[in-house]
Structure 1
Amino acid sequence: MEGSKNSIEQKYNKWIWILSIAIPVVVAILFGVNLQKLGYDVKPLSFLPPIYATINGITAVLLVIAVYAIKKKKNVKLHERLIKLCICCSVAFLAMYVAYHMTSIETSYGGEGFIRYVYFFILITHILLSIIIIPFVLVTFVRGIAGAYERHKKLARITYPMWLYVAVTGVIVYLMISPYYVN
């Protein structure tokens, strides 16, 4: 049985690393592409930030419920469904985030003093962990669906707080910068 678990994991390893590298690279490239600046007549998707911030908040809540479902209720099916939903929320967030930045002029944070340092600390740690978390989420997920539960739990102890931090700080960053959005 252990051999089949490893073969399932090995089957996905290549894709995990391709996605872990490709997603940040593609996002960085697309983040630098602004369709308005390139002369395209596109309307800014200025309605998206509160939506994708809400999705980040939903992801955080779903993560907490998913951990509760497995730790307290021992409900593997619910846990798996919730984690799949969290992954879908993260993909939806990413698509909307890129679409917004491709169609809108960059918003600068306007706060001053100590709060400005707090904002940039949260933003920078959020961005760095959002890149680092990709392989952690994917490997943890694959270990779970492969039935390698002990290895899944061991890695989930690292993945969960990082993913939760990224989801929560996404909301905080939005709340801090939202007064400076230009409509």
Structure 2
Amino acid sequence: MKTEASYNKLITSISIILPIAVATLFGVRLPNVEPLSFLPPIYASTNGLTAIFLLLAVVAIKNGNRILHERLMKASLILSILFLLMYVAYHMTSDPTPFGGEGSIKYLYYFILISHIILSIAIIPLVLITYVKTLSNQFDKHKRIAKITFPLWLYVAVSGVVVYLMISPYY
């Protein structure tokens, strides 16, 4: 089994490389590839399911159902990864969609979008650290960091749906 130090190196690497890779891929447009315009409602739905699974996982652990909690958390992690893959694929095949709202709704949209992006980067190491604490049977530490990770991850999942709903009329 890996040591916690080796996991920490991996977490640090992923937490740095993943946002850089996503930002880099945003600048890439695949020529002669049909835009994957069907993806936004699908990846928004994966965010919605992630939020539901996160909430159900908290209920499960509060009710003492550790196995269901673990399964829901793994499903949340898988859904988040699928979201990211679909999101990048969409943006590599489609031009950016400008938000068409005006006035205060525009400021609200950009506040939610920017906070969503910043927190989606911040939760990468938090989710991974929280997960590693379970792998190393450090459940007290897992519980402490999960109290930080959970609301941030939930915000990212819910705000992703809100951002989609706000921009969807302009696709």
Q: TM-score range by the shorter chain?
A: over 0.9
Identity of aligned residues (%): 60
Determine if the alignment matches structure 1 residue 58 to structure 2 residue 49: yes
Counterpart of 2:151 (choices 161, 167, 171) is: 161
TM-score, length of structure 2 as denominator length: 0.97
Q: Deviations over 1:85-119 (max 9, x none)?
A: 11100000000000000000110000001000000
User: What is the alpha-carbon distance in structure 1 between the residues aligned to residue 167 and residue 150 of structure 2?
Assistant: 26
User: What is the alpha-carbon distance in structure 2 between the residues aligned to residue 146 and residue 58 of structure 1?
Assistant: 28
Unaligned runs of at least 5 residues, structure 1? none
Match of 2:61 in 1: 70
User: What is the alpha-carbon distance in structure 2 between the residues aligned to residue 62 and residue 95 of structure 1?
Assistant: 19
Residue 8 of structure 1, CA deviation: 3.9
Larger of the two Rg values belongs to structure: 1
Aligned CA-pair RMSD: 1.1
Residue-pair matches, total:
171
User: What is the alpha-carbon distance in structure 2 between the residues aligned to residue 94 and residue 145 of structure 1?
Assistant: 24
Counterpart of 1:28 (choices 23, 26, 45) is: 23
User: What is the alpha-carbon distance in structure 2 between the residues aligned to residue 171 and residue 69 of structure 1?
Assistant: 24
Residue 161 of structure 1, CA deviation: 0.2
| Amino acid of the structure 2 residue aligned with 1:15 | L
Match of 1:150 in 2: 140
| Amino acid of the structure 2 residue aligned with 1:55 | T
Unaligned runs of at least 5 residues, structure 2? none
Determine if the alignment matches structure 1 residue 137 to structure 2 residue 127: yes
TM-score, length of structure 1 as denominator length: 0.91
